[in-house]
Structure 1
Amino acid sequence: MAGSGAGGSGVDEGGVTGAAPLTPRARAKARRRGEILAAAARLMARRGFHAVRLDDIGAEVGISGPGMYRYFSSKEDVLAEMLLDISRRLRDGGRAAVERGGDPDRVLDALLAVHVDFVATEPDLISVQFRDLGSLPAAPRHEVRTLQREYAELWVDALVRLRPELTSTQARAHVHAVFGLLNSSPRLPAMAEADLRAVLTTMASAALRS
């Protein structure tokens, strides 16, 4: 997850496993789409979705207004890809943490590491996801919500294994409270990334185990 950036378009520049490698032209287009997504996240985090035009995003990466339509049909399309991509990456990162196995403490710590990595490296996406999810059209909004529920349930299952005295409802409340804590990171005082990771990890771990 680290370093994947707001521009992670979900496209593997080397090609999807089992598929033919992307052509140089396709790789260049994928990189350009990633740059557009990163620029859109920066602008939307600062101004909000409704105050950003597709032309504004293009200007950030040196693409004229009409040229943007080679990559995205609308700013809603940009927002949808941005939020679907991060939701899939979190869900898939959570699944990988669970599949690596280990005792319940280790699994929960691995899930926490996935989320801390996200909040420490992609604050623009956190802000956009929190504020602008409701601006998505119904279909992608439903898909994002589904991915988020799948991700959260990985945490709930892990927490119940660690703390069997909790009901699933109680565990779910713990998990969503911790998500709120972690996702507040863009509003915290500025600090070095290593310090932010340490603070968030310590606080979230204590909250989950309290």
Structure 2
Amino acid sequence: MSTSPSPSAEQPARTRRGQAKAARRAELLEAAARLMAERGFAAVTLEDIGRAVGVSGPAMYRHFSSKIDLLDQMLVDISQRLHDGGAEVVDGAGDPEQTLRDLIRFHIDVLVTKPDLIAVQDRDLSSLTPAANHQVRSLQRRYVEQWVDVLLAVDAGSGGSLSREEARVRVHATFGLLNSSPRLPAFGEAELRTVLGAMAWSALLSGR
């Protein structure tokens, strides 16, 4: 008589395995971001990353086919996180000014909690495969346009006449300001959030 496990018994085991694999993948990506931010993409190997979390070199290939595959996944992940988080802020929108403040707060939260990822994205985007580069840039463009739409709504609400082109320039310039934060001198997290938030608001609305 067959004693194979029922589907209901198999499912929790699969779920646990999937959760464990996802947790290990996240751990590896975090270690990779830290090492690459410190040394640069070219100076880090898969074996270095594995050692940082106690994973053997061969075991790394269960998660990533190569170092470039790891970089692809890392930067697509952070770009998707920014895009999806921005969309969530906009979808839960109240008035435009509050939505813009919430977008700034969300972006700064990512910066201060994932500074290594931001540093790697800023420096090593050109090392992505063409397909991943296209995906990252597409997500980035759509994330920018989320901000542009909200900034234009804020401007229109105060009787302004900001063009979409200028709004886009302001958003890109603000990202440049914010994304430089991993290179800033050491500063308390709460104070950094306050300073960056005030500067971003001023940059977006300067001269209005």
TM-score (norm 1): 0.88
The CA deviation at 1:68 is 0.7
AA in 2 matched with 1:141? N
The CA deviation at 1:23 is 1.6
The CA deviation at 1:65 is 1.0
Question: Whole-Å Cα distance in 1 between the matches of residues 154 and 114 of structure 2?
Answer: 29
Match of 2:136 among 141, 144, 149: 144
Question: Whole-Å Cα distance in 2 between the matches of residues 101 and 62 of structure 1?
Answer: 43
Question: Whole-Å Cα distance in 2 between the matches of residues 122 and 90 of structure 1?
Answer: 11
Q: Deviations over 1:11-70 (max 9, x none)?
A: xxxxxxxxx775211111111111100000000001111111111111111111111111
Does 2:192 correspond to 1:200?
no
Question: Whole-Å Cα distance in 2 between the matches of residues 209 and 131 of structure 1?
Answer: 28
Aligned residues: 191
What residue in structure 2 maps to residue 116 of structure 1? 108
What residue in structure 2 maps to residue 168 of structure 1? 164
The CA deviation at 1:208 is 1.1
The CA deviation at 1:100 is 0.8
Question: Whole-Å Cα distance in 1 between the matches of residues 27 and 108 of structure 2?
Answer: 23
Does 2:147 correspond to 1:155?
yes
AA in 1 matched with 2:25? R
What residue in structure 1 maps to residue 92 of structure 2? 100
TM-score (norm 2): 0.89
Q: Deviations over 1:121-170 (max 9, x none)?
A: 11101100000011000001100000000000000111111113110000
What residue in structure 2 maps to residue 45 of structure 1? 37
Question: Whole-Å Cα distance in 2 between the matches of residues 120 and 39 of structure 1?
Answer: 17
SS at 1:91 equivalent = helix
Out of 134-143 and 25-34, give the one that drifted further: 25-34
Identity level (%): 59
The structure 1 segments of at least 4 consecutive aligned residues displaced by more than 2 Å after TM superposition are: none
Does 2:68 correspond to 1:72?
no
SS at 2:64 equivalent = coil
Question: Whole-Å Cα distance in 2 between the matches of residues 46 and 132 of structure 1?
Answer: 12
The CA deviation at 1:206 is 1.1
What residue in structure 2 maps to residue 24 of structure 1? 16
The CA deviation at 1:188 is 1.0
Out of 158-167 and 38-47, give the one that drifted further: 158-167
Question: Whole-Å Cα distance in 2 between the matches of residues 34 and 200 of structure 1?
Answer: 27
SS at 2:65 equivalent = coil
The CA deviation at 1:114 is 1.0
SS at 2:61 equivalent = helix
Instruction: Name the larger-Rg structure.
Output: 2
AA in 1 matched with 2:168? R
The CA deviation at 1:104 is 1.2
